Structure 1
Amino acid sequence: MIISSKVVQLLPCYRNRITNKLQYSTTENVPVNVPEPVISSSNIAQFRKGAGGRSSFSGNVITVFGNTGFTGRRVVNRLARHANQLILPYRCDSYFLRELKVPCDLGQVLFFPFQLDDDESIRKAVKYSNVVINMIGTYVDTPNYSIYDANVEGAWRIARICREMGVERLIHVSALNADPSYKTQFIKNGAFLKSKGMAEQAVRSEFPSATIIRPSVMYGDIDRLIYNLITRWRVDPFGNVYTFNAGEGIYKMPLFVNDFADGVNRVAMDSSTAGKTYEFVGPHCYEMCELFDFIFIKGGLTADINYRYRRVGIPIWFLFTSFLCHSYTKIYRRPGVINWEWFDFMEATSDVLSAGDTYLLKDLGVSLTDFEDMGAYYAMQISYLRPYKPRMAAYPQCPLPLRSPPLFKQKPITFKMQNIVTEQRAFGL
């Protein structure tokens, strides 16, 4: 079949070809406004795109160290929700990164392998970032890094490289009660809180404008608070639960992990938080025995199902058993069923606020979650008696844990009338 030339000239593609040929083949000197080339700069904010959300770009490139941990996944999700491009360094198997691939749109999250003792890999990870968040931390010695290697030397190296690479903001996550001279209550020469305190000093020395966050013990899905208490490995066949001083005299302010992630996101977005120290704690303070009773009753471990729950102190034979577990952790350098470092931090140390130049989550405008709400939910979800929950609907409700006033290292400064000094003088003197 032969198409005539007149029919071909009627085709849209042919008409466009003729128009382009006439446009670029003219011999007249027609002035053309050619835009100047855009010179790229280090100001990443000029590349903002979109109205916000996971498919937009806010202009912030954030490197998150420790993104595969319990808190890291929540922080990554919150940062991605607010249109930040993320660089996630990792040293684990890529299988553990599967949850971190979906919070962002395609191209908004980048994975980069690194080693904590390799300066060059850390430089590449923070090279294009204006905000760096360090959440690396451990309470056990691993085959590759000790507690001091991960908590102190690693934090110092990241802070030093961030200063050398010109990073604008550094956010370092520490722990509540972190102190280089801290004296442990349960274990002799404990290293967790000491190393966290030394890490704060190292970060401040290298990056003075760094923001330090001291979170309390956190709870959530597969946490180290509710999950460690309500598992069958913590309870003996007679229903006895052993804890430091039977949970009496120890006060905690548990923090919901989503509130922690919201606070980190607000610190990263607010440049006025540079150089400040924040203490992230829950909205209320509870005695440890109240938390124990509330968690176990909400988990269904009650006498209604012939379960004899008793909260007692630590006998000698439990010390011997826990010592074997702790020795396993020290010898094989991996987490065990019972770890004395975490036991001392969670159950033998009270949460004490500084009340000095530190700030709280409420100063960032975060709406805190009560432990009675989400703590009860996760206790029911984690309990190994969950299949019997439909039969327990008619059981009496659990009494709420008693709330205690928070503890302070030094009392907050308040206005008192007796502090006003007056003096009587004669008129004119």
Structure 2
Amino acid sequence: MSHLTRGVVGRGGRSSVSGITATVFGATGFLGRYVVNRLGKMGSRVIVPFRGDEQGYRHLKLMGDLGQIVPVKYDPLDPASIRNVLSRSNLVISLVGASRNAIHSSLNDANVRLPEEIAIQAKQSGNVQRLVHVSALGASYDAESLFLRLKKKGEDAVRGSFDGATVIRPAAMYGVEDEFLNSMAAAPKILGGFTPVWTQGHHLLQPVWVGDVAQGIIHASVEDSAAGKVYEAAGLEALSRIALMKRVFNWIGRPTDKIVPIPDTVVDAAAALFSIKYLPRRYAPVTTEEIEYMRSNVVASKDALSLRDLGVAQAPIEEIAHQFLAMTYKRGGVFFDPELQK
């Protein structure tokens, strides 16, 4: 165990004191709520940097005892502001990143510049003992995807600025609030049964439950042996996008014969249109950068450290995704048996 937890007081749980004061950048995002919950559950004080208003963080305040979840407004463009939100922490977890450009920030800003600045300020603070940086599975300078190349550049920038930084590379994450499997399950109803598949859907991916990734991050934060290492957080099974979509449809009782791969020429034209700088990309169905990513096989390396090395026991995707998707999208709910209608 780490010296971070040497000041433990109590029997464990939200009303205990873990000895950890953690600043979690990106805490208001999908993965962030799971990380904050696990930190709060073990009695940690969690600093939550935010940019908007209380709507972005108020759900997080329930995850710790009174006063343990501390929202602090900050400016990601101001090094002094970044330094302020981590000035009292002994642990920094960086979840920041983006898969598409925005009007006021680029992929490089979100995936390289900001993570590097966080690492620099953590190092200069003198009190941050551990830094965990979340990247992406498949990050490499040789990747065809710009997103994955920038993720690798961000990793190197962080590790070069903070000695002993731990890197977690998660695969595509699923969970109750995701925009991944939920978008697949919702498509037939929205599009009248027709479900398009970008990039033919034959490239491999290895989906991982967001809760397992969060638990891996916590273990990497408190285990001294994890310092300076890179872990690939992938699911137990690699499968193509089309195979995954068919499995989702089987779980929710939808026919699979209306899954239609979109020709590459149409995909490229649509992505180029939605990638025009001044269009509202937040609502774009797909961008050029995301198409590049979807055309990559994003699976774990055979010799890489994994969630198992962090002590995380993973469950198959069926045990988690089937439940929350069927509850929301299956006619009659998760326990409905179509045989009863006959």
Q: Taking structure 2 as the reference length, what is the TM-score of the superposition?
A: 0.89
Q: Residue 165 and residue 340 in structure 1: after superposition, are their counterparts in 2 closer, same or farther (change >3 A)?
A: same
**Among 113, 125, 129, which residue is 1:153 paired with?**
113
Equivalences, count? 337
State the Cα distance separating 1:83 from its structure 2 match. 1.4
2:274 is equivalent to residue 325 of structure 1 = yes
2:185 is equivalent to residue 230 of structure 1 = yes
Percentage of pairs with the same residue: 31
- Higher RCO structure (Cα 8 Å, ≥6 apart): 2
Q: How does 1:245-284 map to 2 (within 5 A)?
A: 245=200, 247-248=201-202, 250-284=203-237
**Among 119, 127, 136, which residue is 2:79 paired with?**
119
Give me the whole-angstrom Cα distance separating, in 2, the residues matched to 1:390 and 1:279: 32
Q: How does 1:9-88 map to 2 (within 5 A)?
A: 48-88=8-48
Match of 1:154, SS?
Answer: helix
Which residue identity does 1:348 align to in structure 2?
R
**Among 36, 48, 55, which residue is 1:95 paired with?**
55
2:291 is equivalent to residue 337 of structure 1 = no
State the Cα distance separating 1:142 from its structure 2 match. 2.2
Structure 1 or 2, whichever has the larger Rg, is 1
Which residue identity does 2:298 align to in structure 1?
D
Which residue identity does 2:306 align to in structure 1?
L
Tell me what 2:250 maps to.
297
Q: Could you tell me whether the CA contact under 8 Å between 2:187 and 2:195 is conserved in 1?
A: no
Alpha-carbon displacement from aligned partner over 1:370-390 (angstroms, at most 9, x marks no partner): 11221222332443xx45548
Give me the whole-angstrom Cα distance separating, in 1, the residues matched to 2:155 and 2:221: 18
Give me the whole-angstrom Cα distance separating, in 1, the residues matched to 2:189 and 2:147: 22
State the Cα distance separating 1:145 from its structure 2 match. 1.7
Alpha-carbon displacement from aligned partner over 1:137-193 (angstroms, at most 9, x marks no partner): 111222332111111000110111111112110100000111234213xxxxxx311
State the Cα distance separating 1:395 from its structure 2 match. 5.0
Match of 1:353, SS?
Answer: coil
Q: Residue 181 and residue 331 in structure 1: after superposition, are their counterparts in 2 closer, same or farther (change >3 A)?
A: farther
Tell me what 1:20 maps to.
none
Unaligned residue ranges in structure 2 (runs of 5+) = none
Alpha-carbon displacement from aligned partner over 1:284-335 (angstroms, at most 9, x marks no partner): 22233221111122223228xxxx52343426445544543343x7533534
Match of 1:331, SS?
Answer: coil
Q: Taking structure 1 as the reference length, what is the TM-score of the superposition?
A: 0.72
Alpha-carbon displacement from aligned partner over 1:339-396 (angstroms, at most 9, x marks no partner): 3433443x3221233344x41001111110211221222332443xx45548962259
**Among 311, 325, 328, which residue is 1:379 paired with?**
325
Which residue identity does 1:297 align to in structure 2?
N
2:314 is equivalent to residue 368 of structure 1 = yes
Q: Could you tell me whether the CA contact under 8 Å between 1:49 and 1:56 is conserved in 2?
A: yes
Unaligned residue ranges in structure 1 (runs of 5+) = 1-42, 185-190, 397-429
Tell me what 1:409 maps to.
none
Range 263-272 or range 138-147, more displaced = 138-147
Q: Residue 270 and residue 315 in structure 1: after superposition, are their counterparts in 2 closer, same or farther (change >3 A)?
A: closer
Alpha-carbon displacement from aligned partner over 1:101-121 (angstroms, at most 9, x marks no partner): 101001212111111111111
2:337 is equivalent to residue 393 of structure 1 = yes
Give me the whole-angstrom Cα distance separating, in 2, the residues matched to 1:201 and 1:209: 12
